[in-house]
Amino acid sequence: MVEIVTESGLMDDILGPYQKDLGIGYNGYRNHCFRMLNIGRFLVPDEPHRDDRFAIMAAFHDLPFFLTGSLDYLGKASDLAKDYLEAMGRPEWEPEMRLMIHNHHKVRPYTGEYAPMVDAMRKADWIDVTFTKIRFGIPRSWIRDLRATFPLNEAYKAVAMPGIARYAVTHLTRPLPMMRW
């Protein structure tokens, strides 16, 4: 069984400056990011920099939504990740990062370039947002341990769910712009 990672200095370095702006949603968003990181680790065999790439993607993937309330945020999330990657000297990770961010709400499996990493993050987000009703073959016991380690925070739901509803009812022609088929 894949060990659950409980610390990521990289993720905390990214999220730390946003803690005040995320307010009551900070711990919930951080837990969501750690659940995604760990699910990705479960789905993709170890390879160089796998965990760093997952941590960066997880930290940025929904961040603009939680900061602004706009569901049309994938481009902004990708831009934040790109700027971060350039600052850390890893611009070569940007194409893969952009694909992971832009496809994490994709309904169908992702089969293009960087498919193992991109589809793992798609699955990780679907597992988490369906409250583990979808598991993509991951054992229930491992998911239960992951959720016990990084619980679903009520403040996260209190921020995410109303934010999604507010956006959707004020943008009736495109209520969920982050979704992909």
Phi, psi of 112 (to 5 degrees): -85, -155
Angle at the Cα of 51 from the Cα atoms of 99 and 105, rounded to 5 degrees: 35
How far is 153 from 107, CA to CA, in rounded Å? 25
Query: Over 70: is that where the pLDDT of 171 sits?
Result: no
pLDDT in tens, 101-115: 999 999 999 999 999
Residue 34 · residue 58 · CB < 8 Å: yes
Residue 44 DSSP class: S
Q: Amino acid letter at 143?
A: I
C-alpha–C-alpha distance, residues 90 and 94, integer Å: 8
Tell me what the mean pLDDT of segment 117-133 comes to.
Answer: 93
Tokens of 150: 């990084």
Of 128 and 160, more confident: 128
pLDDT above 90 as % of the chain: 74
Summarize pLDDT for 1-35 with one digit per residue, the tens.
899 999 999 999 999 999 999 998 899 999 999 99
Closest alpha carbon to 10 in 69, 73, 85, 83 = 85
